[in-house]
Structure 1
Amino acid sequence: MNTPSHWFETGDKGSSTWETSHELGSFGRLWHAFMTARVAIATVLVILQAFIYALGNITNRWSIAVCIAYLFATLAVRLWAKPRPPGSTFDAQWLSTIGVDVITFSALNFLQSGGINYTPLFALPVLLSSILGPILLAFGTAASVTLLLLADAWWNWLQALGDPNARFLQSGLSGSGFFLVALLANHLALRLAREEQLAKRSQSAARMQTQVNELVIEALADGVLVVDINGIVRSANPASRRLLAAGDSVRSAPFILAAENTWQPLAELMHRTFAEQSPQEADVSLNTPGGHTRRLHVRTRLAASPNGTHESLCVMFLEDLREMEARVRTEKMAAMGRMSAAVAHEIRNPLAAISQANALLEEDLQDAGHRQLTAMVRQNAQRLAHIVDEVLNISRAQAQLPAAQTSTLPLDDAVQKIASDWAGQTAASARMRVTLDSDNAVVGFEPEHLRRLMINLLDNALRYASDGAHAIDIATQVVTPGQARLSVWSDGQPLEQTVQTHLFEPFFSSESRSSGLGLYICRELCERYGALIGYQRVQRNGTDGNEFFVVFRPSPQFPNTPSPSFATMPT
């Protein structure tokens, strides 16, 4: 605990005019101003004493020595002392300022060199103690000055120099004036200190609010641009930079909105906002250099200064129309999903009746052709029953996955058969290549579900692949002992970042006519059997393309093989 030396102690730690802080602010500026004033007064006193000495009117040479010593003392304090608020105490630093001033001016007033009255100089230490110290210190300084003036008047009365009544009256009036100056100056200093603290708190709150606003804007899914009247983007959040990205380049603010031809529709909307001084809303298309068209829904708001002291800013909100349409489709498909669940419930009973009637009919048929027809009815009824069960499973949105299946199959044989059947149905044999290199590893997967998984991935690859040879590549391989990997690659264009973000979500598709359920069903099937599905952009035979890969759960022969994890797979 620090125990400072002091003259006056009030016991109230909050009674000082200035709070102790590392940033002295107004206190530091006032302290330096007073110290400079003391140096200036000391310099004037030395010059004045020298002038009086030159005229031969000086009667006591000690006054010159006092003024020179005072000048050196003020210079030393000004150059080397550091400002420190006194709190409720009076320490050695204030003895070197107020104490020196009071003693110096009292000595000059006592010596009365050249007949000059030095009483007005006492206002400096009184003001210094009133503004930079607590009220008790100010009153103590005024009281000490008043007592010194009265003592000087009493000494002069003893020396029978002049009228004593006039000197006592002048000392009393001067002391009263010093008390009044101390009171008023201290109140003004207190008010200034409170205003400074209030301003600091307001600035701190404003900075905190600014940080909160920046965090909120940075986390927004919609793009936000702040543009001035000259078309310079002052601020851009990550979502807007992603939407405005031209190729692989991403601009960071500040930048000129009209710098890219792709952004011209946004620049025109910004100019219209400033010209009409009103918010604007429009759907715009940005043609990227890669040949893609990004459609955005843009809303603008004008942030205008109420008194015209600051420039106006245009705030632009950017939203990807594809994501908006995907949300609308999601809502529609969710409603359709609920309806599908109800329809599936209604289909179950007629389907069971059809299956039962077909079985009874099949018992009485002897003709091979008729029995073949009933077999087709039976197979398709079973297939419809599987579809109904899957629709009901998806609609229930069960929190837990079904129990692991015990069915296994050799991967290479199953992939070869499914790929051959699909190529025959789509006439894509010339564009497809199959590479089987998993040593016919055994994976835990239902054959019908693996078929659905591959058909969805192959249909998706065919939709975006070129017409060249080997535009679609199907491959199997062994990742680790007992763990196999299946990949479907096509030489299509790279997927945009927004598409990759929602790739396996239900009802999301880059095409308006697609339901967006294909990849979602693939993910659900993989999760059901403990497999991992993912996407990456890779190169095959010198050509970049899109690869969807499935890493299967380790086979039972290798129980210690780690399960597939997103953290260990390429992205």
Structure 2
Amino acid sequence: MAKAAPDSGNSWFGPVEKSGAWESDAGSESFGRLWRAFMAARVTLATVLLALQASIYALGQPVGKAMIALCVAYFIAALAIRVWAHPKPPGSTFDAQWLSTVGLDVLAFSALNFLQSGAINYTALFALPVLLASVLGPILLALGTAASVALLLLADAWWASLQLPGDAAARFLQAGLSGSGFFIIALLANQLALRLSREQKRAERSQSAALIQTQVNELVIDTLVDGVLVIDTGGTVRAANPASLRLLAIEDAARAAPFVLAAKTAWQPLAALAQRTFEKRSPQQSDVSLEHPSRHARRLQVRTRLAASRDGSHESLCVMFLEDLREMEARVRTEKMAAMGRMSAAVAHEIRNPLAAITQANALLEEDLQDAGQRQLTGMVRQNAQRLARIVEEILNISRVQEQGPQVQTSALPLDDMLRRICSDWTQQTASGKRLQLLAGADRVAVLFEGEHLRRLIINLLDNALRYASTVDGAIQVITETTAAGQPRLSVWSDGQPLEKTVQSHLFEPFFSSESRSSGLGLYICRELCERHGALIGYQRVVRNSVEGNEFFVLFRPAVVEPALSPTGFDTMWSDIRKTP
């Protein structure tokens, strides 16, 4: 069990601190200011003492040389300490710095009391060293200074009583009262200094915590996907996070904030919504459209909240949250697609067995039919059953790819050799040998990919290109090359018509297709396979041989081809890939 900290006792204003009030780093700056103020007061007091002696001399009163010399010496010492001494909190013992300040003051003022020849009383001057020791030093230094002053006053009263015995009782009473007063001043001043020091430390800790909290809040707001605007009653945006600048189409970062929300015509709906929030004093929500003349309109969902003080002493602010409706719709669409994908996989499993029975029964029926019309009907059944089987297989392929997770077993595959064999098989199956042109430019370049997945990726891209390409020779081109960064690149180009902007934005989403007879899963499977193997797939419109067409490209992770991979070994691997269902 941890030992509890010892209780140091309580003072009138809080816990008593044994050390000085300014020993921590938090009070060093305040200690320096108080030190300079006390040193300036000492120099001022020394100047006043010199002026007093000069006034006495000007009035024709006798002034002792010792008194003048003492005032001059005290002025020089006070000025030297103010100029050259460095403030340092006192320790538990008297050091040279405090001896040259508190000790010098006590001795100098005691000498003034001893050398005085008129009715002037210098006892009040002892308040300066007592306050200096009490405010800037520990309690021991404060009480020690007060005790020394009291003893000196009593000694001075005793010496005066030896010179004039008649007033001894009054002198001792005056010295005792003055000493008691200095003790009270020392105690109160020290306790107040400790209290002020604790309050300053607490304020600095609170300020530091508030600063950290402010930084955390700013970091969270800056990283929010939603835009956040803080608007005052005059329609001026006080603060704006990067997401809001993007949604407002502000490209110049220097214009971030502040700016007037009604400065642009496109922002007028936001300004009107903020004004309505101030007028109704309640949250508002609306869907607005920002019509920029140089770009497409941006649809936003806007929510406002009013930040107002309870007593109305501070200005109210409107906090506006902006969210892109397209991103919201995309998230909803993704969630729907995920749910549909899970449902489709379950349905595909249930369809597979009845579909196989239909296909088998149709084949048996076709063997016994001789009529051409009836055989044509069974042929239609066979073709549509095969089409349904392909759709079911594609849906199940998605489930298999997703179940494999992000880490799959990869191997170094020679890209050009694999591509030649895959294209050869594909052209034989689709009877499109003349329409396909292969330009292999990545000889002895290997990629990190699983063999069956690479075959499925290339065939999906070729099937997609065949669907939209023309019938001329070279309408489909497959090119391999190595980029300047050393990445193997595969591109499948076709001379099809350009895709619409809406189609391009959803190319790799599941169940999305521009044709009614397509499942819309081919490109989605390609993207999933690329992500599993650290590759990148994309689309662009490219001109080749003066013909503009659609190009799907894949950037692979490079690998080193093993020299031990013989043609026989490669043929064995290719045979295994082709046998994979």
Note whether the superposition's TM-score is higher than 0.5: yes
Matched residues in 2 for 1:403 and 1:89: separation?
75
Q: 1:108 to 1:213 in 2, by over 3 A?
A: same
Residue 186 of structure 2: aligned partner: 182
Residue 476 of structure 1: aligned partner: 479
AA at the equivalent of 1:270 = A
Unaligned 5+ segments in structure 2 are 1-15, 470-474, 566-581
AA at the equivalent of 2:307 = A
Residue 338 of structure 1: aligned partner: 342
2:161 paired with 1:157 = yes
2:354 paired with 1:353 = no
Q: 1:531 to 1:559 in 2, by over 3 A?
A: farther
Does the 8 Å CA contact 1:57/1:114 hold for their aligned counterparts? Answer: no
Residue 54 of structure 1: aligned partner: 58
1:141-185 deviation per Cα after TM superposition (whole angstroms, max 9, x unaligned): 000000111111111222236511111111111001100111111
Residue 285 of structure 2: aligned partner: 281
AA at the equivalent of 1:485 = L
Residue 6 of structure 1: aligned partner: none
Pairing partner for 1:146 from 131, 150, 157 = 150
AA at the equivalent of 2:345 = A
Does the 8 Å CA contact 2:27/2:201 hold for their aligned counterparts? Answer: no
Matched residues in 1 for 2:88 and 2:168: separation?
42
Matched residues in 2 for 1:238 and 1:347: separation?
50
Residue 83 of structure 1: aligned partner: 87
Pairing partner for 1:264 from 259, 263, 268 = 268
Deviation at 1:53, TM superposition (A): 1.3
Matched residues in 1 for 2:51 and 2:163: separation?
30
Residue 491 of structure 2: aligned partner: 486
Q: SS of 1:398's equivalent?
A: helix
Pairing partner for 1:231 from 231, 235, 240 = 235
Q: 1:258 to 1:50 in 2, by over 3 A?
A: same
Residue 437 of structure 1: aligned partner: 439
Does the 8 Å CA contact 2:134/2:141 hold for their aligned counterparts? Answer: yes
Does the 8 Å CA contact 1:484/1:554 hold for their aligned counterparts? Answer: no
Deviation at 1:207, TM superposition (A): 0.7
Matched residues in 2 for 1:86 and 1:112: separation?
32
Q: 1:112 to 1:283 in 2, by over 3 A?
A: same
Q: SS of 1:285's equivalent?
A: strand
AA at the equivalent of 1:57 = Q
Does the 8 Å CA contact 2:56/2:63 hold for their aligned counterparts? Answer: no
Q: 1:546 to 1:307 in 2, by over 3 A?
A: farther
1:363-385 deviation per Cα after TM superposition (whole angstroms, max 9, x unaligned): 33456776565455445434422
2:125 paired with 1:121 = yes
Q: SS of 2:175's equivalent?
A: helix
Q: 1:225 to 1:415 in 2, by over 3 A?
A: farther
AA at the equivalent of 2:490 = R
Q: Which segment drifts farther, 544-553 or 380-389?
A: 544-553
AA at the equivalent of 1:438 = A
Equivalent positions of 1:302-313 (< 5 A) are 302-313=306-317
Q: Which segment drifts farther, 259-268 or 484-493?
A: 484-493
Deviation at 1:58, TM superposition (A): 2.6
Q: 1:60 to 1:505 in 2, by over 3 A?
A: farther
Equivalent positions of 1:92-491 (< 5 A) are 92-160=96-164, 163-246=167-250, 251-366=255-370, 374=378, 377-395=381-399, 397-400=402-405, 408-410=418-420, 437-438=439-440, 450-453=458-461, 476-479=479-482, 483-486=488-491
Q: Which segment drifts farther, 129-138 or 549-558?
A: 549-558
Q: 1:535 to 1:138 in 2, by over 3 A?
A: same
Q: 1:556 to 1:63 in 2, by over 3 A?
A: closer
Matched residues in 1 for 2:559 and 2:64: separation?
113
How many residue pairs end up in the alignment?
Answer: 522
Q: Which segment drifts farther, 442-451 or 101-110?
A: 442-451
Equivalent positions of 1:17-36 (< 5 A) are 17-21=21-25, 24-36=28-40
Question: TM-score, with normalisation over the residues of structure 2?
Answer: 0.76
Percent of matched pairs sharing the same residue: 62
Does the 8 Å CA contact 2:491/2:551 hold for their aligned counterparts? Answer: no
AA at the equivalent of 1:163 = D
Q: 1:247 to 1:156 in 2, by over 3 A?
A: closer
Deviation at 1:235, TM superposition (A): 2.2
Q: 1:552 to 1:18 in 2, by over 3 A?
A: closer
Q: 1:552 to 1:45 in 2, by over 3 A?
A: closer
Matched residues in 2 for 1:185 and 1:555: separation?
79
Q: SS of 1:85's equivalent?
A: coil
1:53-99 deviation per Cα after TM superposition (whole angstroms, max 9, x unaligned): 12222342211111121112222222232322224443222112111
Matched residues in 1 for 2:273 and 2:198: separation?
47
Deviation at 1:15, TM superposition (A): 2.4
Matched residues in 2 for 1:383 and 1:24: separation?
84
Unaligned 5+ segments in structure 1 are 1-11, 425-433, 463-471, 562-571
Deviation at 1:297, TM superposition (A): 0.5
Q: SS of 1:25's equivalent?
A: helix
AA at the equivalent of 1:135 = I
AA at the equivalent of 2:343 = M
Does the 8 Å CA contact 2:227/2:240 hold for their aligned counterparts? Answer: yes
Residue 430 of structure 1: aligned partner: none
Q: Which segment drifts farther, 40-49 or 81-90?
A: 81-90
Matched residues in 2 for 1:243 and 1:415: separation?
47
Does the 8 Å CA contact 1:126/1:138 hold for their aligned counterparts? Answer: yes
Q: 1:482 to 1:415 in 2, by over 3 A?
A: farther
Q: Which segment drifts farther, 43-52 or 538-547?
A: 538-547
Matched residues in 2 for 1:418 and 1:291: separation?
47
Q: 1:55 to 1:557 in 2, by over 3 A?
A: closer
Q: SS of 1:15's equivalent?
A: coil
